[in-house]
Amino acid sequence: MAHSEALSPTDTVAKRVREVRKRRGLTAEQLADKLREQGVLWDRYTVTKLENGKRQNITLSEWLTLAAVLNVAPTHLLLPVDGGEEAYQVTPTRTERVEQVRGWVRGHWPLPGANVIQFQAEMPEEEQGKIHLPPTQDRAARIDDIERSMAQLSTALQHLRGEGADGEGL
């Protein structure tokens, strides 16, 4: 995907904050007041700078506090709620479709090409092994990722058991 066309995380948060703030009937000053009550020392100018794209970054604490005071899931500030096919900037050099990133952020599946077993290993134990199906057009690629991860695991197990490549013990 072309990087220049991708939605950035900060731009998306800015757009979503403005949309939700207006839907809630809050002014920039009122939102700033609510943020200050929660320990984020913003004024209306900071809110306006974010919403107008003049603020390039927000901290994780600011993002979570914005979500809390606006009563919206943090994921729904970070990612567009529509446009699943749009490109989204995951890192400064990597973009993926919004729909794919949403599943990754929610912990449903790793980003394309990632090791599925490593991804699952970092989940809480009660979530490991749960199946979340990726979007239909991504399933073939996800199956390939899982098969590649399983092959790597199989090779690692053979080495741990002291077996050679032919399956015979060493």
Question: What DSSP line would sit under the chain, residue for residue?
Answer: --GGGSBPHHHHHHHHHHHHHHHTT--HHHHHHHHHHTT----HHHHHHHHTT------HHHHHHHHHHHT--THHHHS-SS-TTSEEEEETTEEEEHHHHHHHHTTSSPPTTS-HHHHHHTS-GGGTT---PPPGGGHHHHHHHHHHHHHHHHHHHHHHHTB-TTS-B-
Q: Where are the domains of the chain?
A: 3-78, 110-170
User: What tens digit of pLDDT does each residue of 116-147 get?
Assistant: 888 888 888 888 777 676 666 666 776 777 77
Q: Which residue has the higher pLDDT, 74 or 7?
A: 74
Highest-confidence segment of 31-35, 143-147, 152-156: 31-35
pLDDT in tens, 77-91: 999 998 768 999 999
CATH topology of domain 3-78: 434 Repressor (Amino-terminal Domain) (1.10.260)
Share of the chain above pLDDT 70, in %: 86
